[in-house]
Amino acid sequence: MRIDLRSDTVTRPTPAMLEAMFNAEVGDDVLGDDPTVLALEEKAARLFGMEAALFCPSGTMTNQLAIRTHTRPGDDVICDQLSHVYLYEGGGIAVNALASVSLAQGERGKLTPELVREHIQPDDLHKPITRLVCLENTVNKGGGCYYTIPEIAAIRTVCDEHGLLLHLDGARLFNALIETGDSPAAYGPLFDSISICLSKGLGCPVGSLLLGKTDFIKQARRFRKLMGGGWRQAGYLAAAGIYALDHHVNRLKLDHARARRIGQLLLDLPEIEAVFPVDTNIVIFRLSPNILAADYVALLAEKGILAVTFGKHLVRFVTHLDFTDEQLEQLALKIKEGVITQS
């Protein structure tokens, strides 16, 4: 049995999701008449208390569209040094928005009001103009940790005081919502734009949504076209998104419970120095200094367990829709039998 814990992007559509996709009514999204895309965009915007939404192929695109639309060339963007928009989007802030970045060093990738204040550029012609703050929820490199509404509201206050815009990379936002119990609608008033991913915990084959005000989304749509992100009969994919929003949110609790079980199992392994707190569906652990993550991941693969390196001595597991209790027990058995050993 192969156990794939590389990411929550490795899932396959469920039979019910596939049926919804096959039965979708479609049009042409570039021409603006795909009814299922329009229904998904309206549904997501309403869910988060935003005016409009834009369906895109990926979370990288929705994040980059937001930054490009909010900023002008030469502006400055504040984000954490561990943030996905900085580390994993191909230098897109520089390439797409022609903007610079001020990197903060938060705890597990989370910004605070104090950090935002510290990184606002002074009114100095030698400096770029601070325009945008980007948060990530949950924080991938932070082991799936999340913000609470009061934490976000405090950052929003600082942004309002200084005339800054606030964007949320919500690739795993639903994982955070399941843990906090907050309503998605509470997020709309706090952010100028929100990106949500459908192809991670929600199990869609592809797709993300950018949410914001109507004029903002109209401009982002133009930039999406410029980036080659217009698509035609996208309703087949949008139908998967609608199904996921209706049926796959509450089940995220299962992913979190299984991740915590993995975290507990790893604590008993002598080759593991530490396990990050398991807050949602991401498990990051640090190996002993004499063990390289690349070697360890290769050893895991030999045992049928797929993972990714997250640093020289760090390894990441991510639980998801296709990781079952049976696979969890198989993983536990291999650990108990000492199958996973030092390399």
Name the CA dihedral angle for 57, 209, 17, 11, rounded to a multiple of 10 degrees: 60
Task: Give me the pLDDT at residue 244, please.
Answer: 98
Q: What is the pTM of this model?
A: 0.96
Beta pairing partners, 88: none
The tens digit of pLDDT for each residue in 99-112 reads 999 999 999 999 99
pLDDT band at 305 (very low <50, low <70, confident <90, very high): very high
CB 147 within 8 A of CB 178: no
The tens digit of pLDDT for each residue in 113-134 reads 999 999 999 999 999 999 999 9
Name the CA dihedral angle for 155, 216, 48, 61, rounded to a multiple of 10 degrees: -90
Question: Tokens in use for 147?
Answer: 């913000």
| Distance of alpha carbon 32 from alpha carbon 132, whole angstroms | 29
The label of the residue with tokens 């291999």 reads: 334
CB 193 within 8 A of CB 70: yes
pLDDT of 341 > 70? The answer is no
Question: Which phi and psi angles does 112 have, rounded to 5°?
Answer: -125, 165
Three-state SS string across 80-112, please?
Answer: ECCCHHHHCCCCHHHHHCCCEEEEECCECCECC
Q: Where are the domains of the chain?
A: 15-247, 251-336
DSSP state of 310: -
The answer, yes or no, to whether the previous bond of 280 is cis (omega within 30 of 0) is no
Q: In the CATH hierarchy, which fold is given to the domain comprising 251-336?
A: Aspartate Aminotransferase, domain 1 (3.90.1150)
- Of the candidates 233, 342, 339, which has an alpha carbon nearest to the alpha carbon of residue 289? 342
The label of the residue with tokens 């133009």 reads: 222
The tens digit of pLDDT for each residue in 141-180 reads 999 999 999 999 999 999 999 999 999 999 999 999 999 9
The tens digit of pLDDT for each residue in 51-71 reads 999 999 999 999 999 999 999
Q: In the CATH hierarchy, which fold is given to the domain comprising 15-247?
A: Aspartate Aminotransferase; domain 2 (3.40.640)
Task: Give me the pLDDT at residue 69, please.
Answer: 98
Q: Which residues contact 3 (CB under 8 A, 6 or more apart)?
A: 304, 305, 306, 323, 327, 330, 331
Task: Give me the pLDDT at residue 343, please.
Answer: 41
Q: Which residues contact 314 (CB under 8 A, 6 or more apart)?
A: 284, 285, 286, 287, 293
Beta strands in the chain (DSSP E): 3-4, 52-56, 75-80, 100-104, 129-136, 165-170, 193-197, 208-212, 272-275, 282-287, 305-306, 308-309, 314-318
